[in-house]
Structure 1
Amino acid sequence: MAQVKVLVLAGFGTNCERETAYACRAVGADRVDIVHQAELIHGDRRLDDFNFLCLPGGFLDGDNLGAAQAAAHRFRHARVKTTGEPLMEQLLAFIKKGGLILGICNGFQLMVKLGLLPGFDGLYTQRLVSLTYNDSGRFEDRWVWLKVNPQSPCIFTRGLERLYLPVRHGEGKFVTLDEKVLERLKEENLHTLQYADPQTGEPTQTYPLNPNGSMAAIAGLCDPTGRLFGLMPHPEAFNHRTNHPAWTRESLPEEGLGLSLFRNAVEYLRQRDV
């Protein structure tokens, strides 16, 4: 069985790297390294030593120029100091060889600003979607229900029907370049997660069930391979029953539901020589 080697990216404003690393270890990843972005740029560490890249939440570069915009610019234009290789080429090679990428909150913002998602036609540099300011005009910190699209190719959500996870963001509203992009996302079932009404289980535009006003209530998105996945809610923040806001009032499983996403990723990689 293949070894699962996880790189959790840190630095320049990320603040959820330890929880993300914990989640990966909790579901049995063989190696989990927290790596500062500067280590990649300097050439001290390389993406090709890993097969699972986690882009955790936080506030990259203080959200200057827009959430993750400055970080995306760094990735596109930085060169590895020891080799002169563009860092973006290293990232694209990681995707080509079959690696997994999970972007959570700020990490999701980074993925869309880079153009990694939605990845139409295997192109990972086209910026066709974005995440912008919440309709409420304020930072949203609450728990939300999520409907999982059963037709999605996403490997992270296999076997799941719905999730209950926390969000904490100021720029989480999902938007597309135009209606054609939105329709294609739906046709290819790349809209993996949607904010849902807990009573009906169906996607909703009603605030605060949909905390940001995302188009089509989209909370998570994958590429056509299902290996690249970004979501605004924080699965790493529900790793144990005591994370749940009603843990003292309800009988809950010991393991938090958020770990299911990480377990699916680890099990997928175990069966593949990546």
Structure 2
Amino acid sequence: MKALVLKAPGTNRDYDVAEAIEYAGGTTVLLPLSELRERPALLLDYGMLVIPGGFSYGDALGAGKLLALDFECFFAEAVMRFVEEKRPVLGICNGFQALIKTGILPGAPFERHTFTLAQNARGNFECRWVRLRASTSNSIWTRGIEGFSCPVAHGEGRFASSLPNVVESLRVAGCIALEYANERGEPAQGSYPDNPNGSIGDIAGICNSDGNVLGLMPHPENAVFPWQSASMPGWAEDGALRLFRNGIEYARS
């Protein structure tokens, strides 16, 4: 099984993700977006798709927006086939934003363009470690995980929606995969700094109803090696590494 790590102009976490997947036991190929534009069918040669974080296209027109247009204009059919075949897809930070804007997340039964990742409630760029708790969901990525800590690094990460009662609807559909938590591992209840951006329902990551697609704002790829959390004893569990191992095991099954 080979994981395709998509390298878009401006992304800066592609190598971090590749190292995390390989440390978790997988094999990766970093592919420039331009190559996938020319040959969209290449995507189907891989068992996993990872859309890493960073500042794709310098976040021109909004975070993840131009990356989402690439998906829609050049390889929408290949991506949708990949998703429908229930192959694992992971979108981190900018990648999560692109999955939301294309409507891949959360997907059916929810209508497209009713969700967004808006500017952080405090208007600041948040770059620090946060705690996450895994919710009861359909996600194959969070199986066996209770929670873990990892960094956030974003200015537009506030999960929001125009729908009423949307948090409960997402929860019932099994689509809330990860939530921001306090130091006791309990829901942050919207409290800053535990919830770094003001996301409704403390939502840090969601999956589709089939559970094979996961998008999250925090960066688990920066919390898999022991040295990454050496200065924060007690913060690091193996949940971030387990997340990547879950994706690899699912792709191989």
- Equivalent in the alignment of 1:258: 240
Instruction: Give the whole-Å Cα distance in 2 for the aligned partners of 1:45 and 1:18.
Output: 23
1:157, 1:264 within 8 Å by CA — same for their partners in 2?
yes
Residues matched between the structures, number: 253
CA offset digits 1:52-107 (Å, max 9, x no partner):
000000001111111011111122123xxxxxxxx101111111222110001111
**1:252 offset after TM fit, Å?**
8.2
Match of 1:75 among 71, 75, 84: 71
Match of 2:200 among 215, 221, 233: 215
- Equivalent in the alignment of 2:159: 174
Instruction: Give the whole-Å Cα distance in 2 for the aligned partners of 1:209 and 1:46.
Output: 40
- Equivalent in the alignment of 2:37: 41
Q: Per the alignment, in what secondary structure is the counterpart of residue 160 of structure 1?
A: coil
Q: Given the alignment of the two structures, is residue 66 of structure 1 paired with residue 52 of structure 2, yes or no?
A: no
- Relative to the length of structure 2, the TM-score reads 0.94
- Stretches of structure 2 that go unaligned for 5 or more consecutive residues are none
**1:23 offset after TM fit, Å?**
1.0
**1:264 offset after TM fit, Å?**
0.7
- Equivalent in the alignment of 2:14: 17
Instruction: Give the whole-Å Cα distance in 1 for the aligned partners of 2:87 and 2:37.
Output: 19
**1:188 offset after TM fit, Å?**
1.4
- Stretches of structure 1 that go unaligned for 5 or more consecutive residues are 79-86
Instruction: Give the whole-Å Cα distance in 2 for the aligned partners of 1:138 and 1:266.
Output: 35
In the alignment, residue 64 of structure 1 is paired with which amino acid? A
1:51, 1:98 within 8 Å by CA — same for their partners in 2?
no
Q: Per the alignment, in what secondary structure is the counterpart of residue 37 of structure 2?
A: helix
Q: Given the alignment of the two structures, is residue 93 of structure 1 paired with residue 81 of structure 2, yes or no?
A: yes
Instruction: Give the whole-Å Cα distance in 1 for the aligned partners of 2:51 and 2:25.
Output: 19
CA offset digits 1:91-144 (Å, max 9, x no partner):
1111122211000111101110111100123x8x82321101001111001111
Cα pair distance change 1:177/1:189, threshold 3 Å? same
Q: Given the alignment of the two structures, is residue 231 of structure 1 paired with residue 216 of structure 2, yes or no?
A: yes
The higher radius of gyration belongs to: 1
1:243, 1:256 within 8 Å by CA — same for their partners in 2?
no
- Equivalent in the alignment of 2:115: 129
- Relative to the length of structure 1, the TM-score reads 0.87
Among all aligned residue pairs of Structure 1 and Structure 2, give the percentage whose two residues are the same amino acid: 38
**1:257 offset after TM fit, Å?**
3.9
- Equivalent in the alignment of 1:270: 252
- Equivalent in the alignment of 1:139: 125
**1:180 offset after TM fit, Å?**
4.5
In the alignment, residue 96 of structure 2 is paired with which amino acid? F
Instruction: Give the whole-Å Cα distance in 1 for the aligned partners of 2:225 and 2:194.
Output: 23
**1:186 offset after TM fit, Å?**
1.8
In the alignment, residue 157 of structure 1 is paired with which amino acid? T
Match of 1:188 among 173, 182, 198: 173
- Equivalent in the alignment of 1:82: none
**1:200 offset after TM fit, Å?**
5.6
1:147, 1:203 within 8 Å by CA — same for their partners in 2?
no
> What value does the CA root-mean-square deviation take over the aligned residues?
1.9
